[in-house]
Every structure is written in C-alpha cells, then in structure tokens.
Amino acid sequence: MDKKKLIRIIIPICIILIVAGIWIVKNSDQNLEAPDNPGWEGDSANLVTPLNNEDFALETTSIDLGSLTAYGLPIIIDFGADSCIPCKEMTPVLKTLNAEMQGKAIIKFVDVWENSNAADGFPLQVIPTQVFINPDGTPYTPSDAVKIKFDMYSYEDTDKHAFTVHQGGLTEEEMRSILVDMGVAE
C-alpha cells in the first residue's frame, strides 16, 4: 500500500518536471525577429543571429569583424592597455556601456600591449583609440551633430573609406552621443 501511494506521488512530479523541462528548452531559443526590419516575413534570412556571449564580452584578445558585423549592430572597439592612464579612465565608461548596450551595440576593449596582433589591420597611432563601425559593417561617418574630432582613413588604392577612429579618451556622454548618432535608441 505504501508503494502505491509513493507511485501516485512520484508519477505526477515526474510529469511536471518533464513538462517544465520541455517548456524551458522551447523558450530558450535566442533567434528573435529583427526589430528594425519592417519587411520581415518569417524567412530565416531575416532572423537576428543568436547572441554569442563571447562576442558581447567587453574584453577580448582578438577581433573578428566578420563575426561581429553579422549581428547588424553598431560596433565600438577601444584599443588601449590596462596600464595606460587615459585607458584606465575609460574603463568605467566601457564597462557601463557594454553592460547597458547588450543586444543594441557591441562595445569591445582590446589590451594591445598584451594582444598586439589584435590590432593588426587597424589604424592605431596612440592609445586609447576607438574604431567605429556601422550596423551594416561600413565605417561610421559622424553627423554634424556630433562635436567630436574623428580621423577618417581610406584605402590607398581605391580611396574608399576604410575606418573612422577617435584618438584619446572619451567620456560616457560623448560615447552615448556617438551611439545615438549610430542609430542606438536611448
């Protein structure tokens, strides 16, 4: 008789756990409808890429622009060093914005003294230097509303715009104004 009571209790608990497990698995899918794509009609080509935590982590040892631009989000890459005074001053700004902008923008930091190869192909003359990339993967071109000095780099052979960078530190307010200009809603 005790076994029957025990079975009557265990079976419903198992059923509840199985149903809960199925619900969790089905609702953990990270493919979301692209929020700013009015032409979305359900085809897989218009789904946002699932978020890879490594791509959205602030600190990185290398930059894979192909992987980052696949998200269709504005990208800011700060090249600096943990032992550089102006870079240290930007650390709280980068941490705050990286945490706040998850899924809206990609904010990265590369310590070029520790990972010098990560800066290959980027126009760095001083640290910190920030590189700005539009959601479509093209170099950011600031509007006249942004009153910050940027340096624009072009490819020598084609004269095509290659990079937009800012040399030196930026305040949180300046970074926010750039993100708004890049299309990130506050």
pTM, 2 dp: 0.71
Domain range for residue 125?
51-181
* 163: pLDDT strictly greater than 60: yes
Tokens (6 digits) for 171: 């305040």
Q: Would you mind telling me the total number of residues written for the chain in this entry?
A: 186
User: What is the C-alpha separation between 146 and 157, in angstroms, rounded?
Assistant: 29
Pairing mode of beta strands 75-80, 151-154: unpaired
Residue 186 lies in a domain: no
Euclidean distance between the first and the last CA atom of the chain, given in angstroms as a whole number: 64
- Number of structural domains the chain divides into: 1
Q: Within 10 A of 137 (CB to CB), how many other CB atoms are there?
A: 13
Residue 78 lies in a domain: yes
> 72-105 pLDDT, tens per residue?
999 999 999 999 999 999 999 999 999 999 999 9
Q: What percent of the chain has pLDDT over 90?
A: 67
**CA geometry: angle 59, 63, 182, nearest 5 deg:** 85
Residue 63 lies in a domain: yes
Residue 26 lies in a domain: no
User: Which candidate, 186, 185, 67, 79, places its Cα nearest to that of 137?
Assistant: 67
Residue 69 lies in a domain: yes
